[in-house]
């Protein structure tokens, strides 16, 4: 997904967010909510959620392209997301900032709130609005659970509960999360978080760009 544009020399004050495809809808929602008309968005593939080793090199190339297109204000719409610090090296190389925290499940809840419950959530399987919408595409089919439900214990046997971190109030997404918890044999908890720190960090990036 991309609504980035090749800039003219007098448009270098625009902010480009290079984000995970899993949070594209949410970035655009925050953009509209805050009236950030000068924010452009481009995304790396959502499937990198399963291949974190691809994030840093892809981000490196994306930032280089963005600079070549004339962007001087760039913000990385990723937390560490399993890169083991490699994404931070890319950010340092290019002098750009990223979302704080280890993953989107943390910044949606707010880093301060997440720090208080992280230990208790060690055995929790997180879902977001995106993962509810894409449950079949991201879990059922890739893991073969639609064909081999007996694999559920192999993949999810160490989890105790499913926590749905809800960005919006959508009864249809609630149903997906509840059904998923039941299918996986996990206790269910719903947390209405909204966009969490995504809102404050995008606002800050837009203000200081």
- The domains located in the chain, with CATH, are 11-103+197-208 (3.40.50), 111-192 (no CATH)
Q: What is the pLDDT along the chain (209 residues), one digit of tens a residue?
A: 555 555 444 456 899 999 999 999 999 999 999 999 999 999 999 999 989 999 999 999 999 999 999 999 999 999 999 999 999 999 999 999 999 999 999 999 999 999 999 999 999 999 999 999 999 998 888 888 888 888 888 889 899 999 999 999 999 999 999 999 999 999 999 999 999 999 999 999 999 75
Is the pTM higher than 0.85? Answer: yes
3-state secondary structure of 105: helix
């Amino acid at each position: 997904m991309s609504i980035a544009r090749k800039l003219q020399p007098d448009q270098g004050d625009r902010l480009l967010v290079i984000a995970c495809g899993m949070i594209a809808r949410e970035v655009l929602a925050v953009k509209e909510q805050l009236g950030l008309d000068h924010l452009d968005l481009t995304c790396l593939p959502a499937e990198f959620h399963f291949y974190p080793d691809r994030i840093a090199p892809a981000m490196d190339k994306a930032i280089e392209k963005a600079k070549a297109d004339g962007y001087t204000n760039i913000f990385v719409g990723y937390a560490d997301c399993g890169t083991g610090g490699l994404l931070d090296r890319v950010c340092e190389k290019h002098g750009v900032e990223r979302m704080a925290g280890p993953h989107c499940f943390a910044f949606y809840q707010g880093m301060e709130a997440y720090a208080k419950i992280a230990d208790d959530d060690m055995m929790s399987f997180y879902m977001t609005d995106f993962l509810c919408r894409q449950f079949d595409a991201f879990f059922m089919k890739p893991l073969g659970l639609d064909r081999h439900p007996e694999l559920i214990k192999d993949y999810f046997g160490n989890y105790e509960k499913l926590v749905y971190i809800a960005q919006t109030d959508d009864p249809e997404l609630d149903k997906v999360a509840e059904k998923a918890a039941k299918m996986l044999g996990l206790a269910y908890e719903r947390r209405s978080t909204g966009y969490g720190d995504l809102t404050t960090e995008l606002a800050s990036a837009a203000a200081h760009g």
